[in-house]
Structure 1
Amino acid sequence: MDDLTGKVALVTGAASGIGLATARRFAAADAALILVDRNAGRLAAAVESLGAGRHRGVTMDVTDEAAWTKLADEIDRDAGRLDILVNNAGFGVFRSIADTSLDHWRAIMAVNLDSVFLATKHLLPLLARSGSGAIVNMSSIRGIAAAANTGSYCAAKGAVRMFTKATALECAALGNGVRANSVHPGHIATPLSAGVHADPAIAARLLADIPVGRIGTPDEIADAILFLASDASKYMTGAELVIDGGSTAQ
């Protein structure tokens, strides 16, 4: 599981949080990394921390199809293959249905769902070329169990879950060796969630819903992603891995 020697891995949303933790795990396992993020400053720092000589940062909008076409061509030219794709980029702003504008809905769908489709579509030929490609898509417990005031986020993450399964079945039917699985974190301490967790009242409510009594860490999710990306999970495809401290077991 800890050996990705000779493999090329691409991680979106890689400049912070779960994406950066995943990049660190992959680098420690000896993968060559392509880190994608829209924040150029944080991305440059992330690449430098991992070893800029071997790893590459790409500043881009993951909802831009032309950017994915360009990146796929560059990977084909420079590496000739891609072994691992981690579609991690995403965000959520939680509102009631009545307070959700169409623009907000579309923004949530674009980053959380459209980017997964675009990356898969344009990078699948390279993953198939490797003979044992692995796709890991970031969903959420909200892709399995809904909650009030999370309609757009639930819809996007639920769609990621089902798109992952459809991708897995399509690749199996093609016999191209590509596996696809989804990860479903619960409440995790990331920069995006820091504001929420800093509110004592909200934090208390969250903890009350987590049987193990604590918020998860990005490293705990990164460990699961490393497992799904590695040969240790080579018989897993179309599966969903829930890491939530027991929240969805209730």
Structure 2
Amino acid sequence: MTKRCEGKLALVTGGAQGLGRAHCIRLAQEGARVLATDINGAGAQETAAIINAEMGEGTAFGIAHDVTDPAQWDAAIDAAREHLGGLNVLVNNAGIGVGGNIETCTFEDWKRCYSVNVDSIFHGCQKALPLMREHAPGSIINISSIAGLIASDTMPAYNSTKAAVWMLSKSIALHCAKKQMGIRCNSVHPTFVDTPILDGTAKAHALDKDVLMEKLARQIPLKFVGEPNDIANAVVYLASDESRFMTGAEIKLDGGISAM
């Protein structure tokens, strides 16, 4: 049986851990060849090693990549050409969270949040499109957040960056459709997911991880926190030709929060 992402050539940013690693593994399991990139190059290479141990050498590769640096995007696209033979799936997963309300958030943190969460996607899509056009049909998948659709008083920087990703994705989708590139662009909007980020959150608030998970689960109608594969499975769908009629759209993976 043909796998869902057979023949897909995917670059996944933030691929060293958490959601990014899950995206890489699930794409590879469904037949894609994968380039994991991360500012933590060793972590990206570890992701590739995990995949290659399961699916064979040459399935995945890992490189160091600062997504805020346009020159490093050039290098990442060159690496996709070299290691994968092209590119037709781009998963812009790398991102950071910044706290502080409008009175306490520093401008430095604001700019850093925009650099990682928004500017990187601008650079990535602009740099990737020429190669993706050569290997169309293709799919750009931008990982936003439910925080891009539902505001909070405590994180204006994060809220606004993730809202920007949502609307940027729609603009890119319309551009690619107008130019008949054969490339789609959609955004994914998770809520709380059990990744190493939550370990850091628990530590920062001097909470036991289980206590934090229970507190977060109470905010979700389904009453549980998501797992990385809950998000990665949606990425597989968007990367595959199953979603060929879907562009400029968003997938909410929030356990029902946005329905409240």
Percent identity among equivalent residues?
A: 38
Moved more, 47-56 or 117-126: 47-56
Is the 8 Å Cα contact of residues 128 and 176 (structure 1) preserved in structure 2? Answer: yes
Query: In 2, distance between residues paired with 1:70 and 1:113?
Result: 19
Query: In 1, distance between residues paired with 2:78 and 2:44?
Result: 21
Is the 8 Å Cα contact of residues 80 and 126 (structure 1) preserved in structure 2? Answer: no
Give the direction of change, closer, same or farther, for the CA distance of 1:27–1:78 in structure 2 (3 Å limit): closer
User: 1:2 deviation in Å?
Assistant: 4.3
Is the 8 Å Cα contact of residues 172 and 185 (structure 2) preserved in structure 1? Answer: yes
Is the 8 Å Cα contact of residues 5 and 236 (structure 2) preserved in structure 1? Answer: no
Give the direction of change, closer, same or farther, for the CA distance of 1:148–1:55 in structure 2 (3 Å limit): same
Counterpart in the other structure of 1:47: 48
**Structure 2 residue matching 1:71: 3-state secondary structure:** helix
One-letter identity of the residue aligned with 2:159: C
One-letter identity of the residue aligned with 2:228: P
| TM-score calculated relative to the size of structure 1 | 0.94
Deviations 1:28-62 (A, max 9, x none): 11211111001122222111111153321110101
User: 1:205 deviation in Å?
Assistant: 4.2
**Structure 1 residue matching 2:44: 3-state secondary structure:** helix
| TM-score calculated relative to the size of structure 2 | 0.91
Query: In 2, distance between residues paired with 1:202 and 1:131?
Result: 43
1:190-205 equivalences under 5 Å are 190-197=195-202, 199=207, 203-205=213-215
One-letter identity of the residue aligned with 1:139: S
Counterpart in the other structure of 2:67: 62
Counterpart in the other structure of 1:206: 216
**Structure 2 residue matching 1:248: 3-state secondary structure:** helix
Deviations 1:48-104 (A, max 9, x none): 111153321110101000111222234345545211000000010321121111110
User: 1:140 deviation in Å?
Assistant: 0.3
In the alignment, is residue 139 of structure 1 matched against residue 144 of structure 2? yes
User: 1:5 deviation in Å?
Assistant: 1.7
Gaps spanning 5+ residues in structure 2: where?
A: none
Gaps spanning 5+ residues in structure 1: where?
A: none
Counterpart in the other structure of 2:77: 72
1:1-250 equivalences under 5 Å are 2-51=3-52, 52-77=57-82, 79-197=84-202, 199=207, 203-250=213-260
Query: In 2, distance between residues paired with 1:245 and 1:191?
Result: 20
Moved more, 52-61 or 122-131: 52-61
Query: In 2, distance between residues paired with 1:82 and 1:41?
Result: 22
RMSD: 1.7
